[in-house]
Amino acid sequence: MLDGFTKTRAMNFPRQVLAGHDCIGQIGDMCENFGLTGTALIVTGPTTGALAAHHVKDALVQKKYDVQQVEVGVATQQNLVKVEEIAKDVKASFLLGVGGGSKIDLAKLASANLKMPFISVPTSASHDGLASPRASIKDGGNSLSLNASVPLGVIADTALIVKAPYRLLASGCADVISNTTAVLDWELAVRLRTEDFSSSAANLARYAAESIIDNAAGIKPNLEESVWVAIRPIIISGISMAVAGSSRPTSGSEHMFSHLLDKIAPGKALHGEQCGVGSIMMMYLHGGNWQRLRDALQMVGAPTSSKELGVSEDQLIEALVHAHEIRKDRYTVLGDRGLTPDAAQRLARITKVV
C-alpha cells in the first residue's frame, strides 16, 4: 500500500503553470516548449473570453501556428459536440480553453474524447476546476460531473482575471474553503467504509483551503494582488483531484447539497457559493469550527445564508434532506439516510444559514 492506495493508478498533472501579470503573452512559448505543432483550436465565449482569445491568437500566430476558433456558450452536451466536430473539421492538433469555467470544461472534455492535449487559459476563477481532471456538463435537465483531461499547461493571467466580476473570484474561494468538509467526509469514509485514501491529495486540498481562510481578509474586489493570493490555492485544489484520481479531496457532503440545490433552484447561485454555504452546515455536523468557515466566507464576500444564495428556506431545507441521494457511492457525514426535515431545519438555524 502506497499513500493509502491499494490499486495501481496513473497520475497526470499540468506540466507547467504560469500565474501572474500579463503572462498570457507567454502562451506561444509554452506551446513551443511542449513541442505542440499543427493547428490550434481556441474554445472561447462571447464575453471576457473573446478579449483574451484575441491575445492568445496573436501570440500563437507570431509563433507560426495555424489558429482556429470556436465560440460556444455554456457547457452542454450540444456545445461539446459542436467543439468536437469543429476540431475534426479543422484537423486540430491541440485545444485551448480560453474563458470561464464552462469553456475550460468543454475544452477538457473534448480533449479527453478526441485524445488530444489542451491548455487551460482561465479569464475568471469561479471554481477549482482550472487544473483538475473533472468537468461539469449539462445533459438535458441533469448536471453531470465527468472524468476529463488534465491540462498540459495552465496560464492564469491575473491582469485579465481581475477584470471579471468579483463575485466569480469569491465563488472560487468559497469552493476551495469547502475542501475542509470534503476531506473530513473522506476521512470518515475511510474509518467507516475502509475507502482508499491519499494523504498527499488530502493534504493538498486542506492546504489550499487553509491558504484561502488565512488570507481571506486580504481578498478584495478590484485588486490584482487578491487574484494572485487566491489563484494559487484554487489551482492547487484542482491538482489534488489529479493526485487522488477522483474529486474526493474536494467534494463531499457540501457538494452533494450544492448539486441537489441545482435541481431545486437552478441558476440562483454559483456552484462555489452553494458549496461554501454547505460547508458551514456540514462542518457543524462534523463537530468542527463552522464559525471560522462562516467568517472566512464573509470576509471574501461569499454568501453565508439562504437569502444571500437567492433561495427560500424551504428550498434549502429540501436540499439538505435529499442531499445524501446524489451520490450513494460516496459516504459522507450525511450517512445513508440523510437528515430529517426537523434536523435539517435545526441545523440551518443553528449555523445562521436561515
pLDDT tens across 284-325, in order?
Answer: 999 999 999 999 999 999 999 999 999 999 999 999 999 999
Q: State the angle between helix axes of 179-193 and 166-177 in degrees (0 to 180), rounded to the nearest 10.
A: 20
Residues of the chain with pLDDT under 50: 1-2, 5-6
142-147 and 134-139 strand pairing: antiparallel
Distance between CA atoms of residues 210 and 288, nearest Å: 14
Q: What is the pLDDT of residue 139?
A: 77
Distance from C-alpha of 339 to C-alpha of 354, rounded to nearest angstrom: 16
> In this structure, which CATH number among 3.90.1210.10, 3.40.50.1970, 3.40.50.720, 3.20.20.150 belongs to the domain 16-161?
3.40.50.1970
Quote the pTM value. Answer: 0.93
pLDDT (0 to 100) of residue 191: 96
Task: Specify the pLDDT at position 51.
Answer: 80
| Interatomic CA distance for residues 209 and 221, integer angstroms | 20
Domain 166-350 class? mainly alpha
Please enumerate in sequence order all residues whose Cβ is within 8 A of that of 243, keeping only pairs 6 or more positions apart, or say none: 11, 13, 198, 200, 201, 204, 249
State the Cα–Cα distance between residues 83 and 42, nearest whole angstrom.
10
How many helices and strands in the chain, by DSSP H and E? 15, 8
Q: Which three cell numbers mark 302?
A: 461569499
Domain boundaries, the chain: 16-161, 166-350
Judge whether 123 and 99 are in contact, CB under 8 Å. Answer: yes
- Decide: 163 and 221 in contact? Cβ < 8 Å: no
Cβ-Cβ contacts under 8 Å for 282 (sequence gap 6 or more): 181, 184, 185, 252, 253, 254, 257, 332, 333, 334
pLDDT for position 42? 97
C-alpha cell at 150: 488534465
